[in-house]
Amino acid sequence: MYSMSPYSGPLLTDEESIRKYGDENHWGLHVAVDLGGCDHQKICDGDYIRQFAIDLADHIRMKRFGDPVVVRFGAEPKVEGYSLVQLIETSCIAGHFAEDTDRAFIDVFSCREFPPEATAEYCKEYFGAERMQYATLFRDI
């Protein structure tokens, strides 16, 4: 069973999320994925993270716009690691990989539907995470 952030509403299945997105005519769908106990080698490898962005976009059937931007930085251990941005034609994939704690924080935002739970599970498996929380947000005003 997956847990989710205490800062979001009830966790929906992929089918419920996609139905809600369409039925309520939301502008965007956003999934925030928090991973713990990641494979240290994977989150410290810029090339692996770059390939992840490409593979995730393919997995959720999003068309990439340009190449992934992957940069390693951080002035202190808490925030030191790689950050990722991959533009997609319907918005973006972003992430930060915290090397000192083997955690990853990944966001996928799109104005086209995609399956939030399957996306979170894909991220968990890709980085060999032991723990995962995710939250689904529906963007609108």
- CATH annotation of 14-139: 3.60.90.10
Quick one: pLDDT at residue 115?
A: 96
Question: What is the predicted pLDDT for the residue at 22?
Answer: 87
pLDDT at residue number 140:
83
What letter represents residue 52's amino acid? F
**Residue-level pLDDT at 139:** 86
- d(CA 116, CA 112) in angstroms, rounded, equals 12
Question: What is the model's pLDDT at position 2?
Answer: 54
CA distance 73 to 111: 30
Distance of CA 30 to the CA centre of its chain: 9
Count how many Cα atoms sit within 13 Å of the Cα of residue 40 in the half-sphere of its side chain: 3
pLDDT tens digit at each of 141 positions of the chain: 455 445 456 778 889 889 988 888 888 999 999 999 999 999 999 999 999 999 999 999 999 999 999 999 988 888 889 999 999 999 999 999 999 999 999 999 999 999 999 999 999 999 999 999 999 988 887
CA dist., res. 88 & res. 124, Å (int): 21
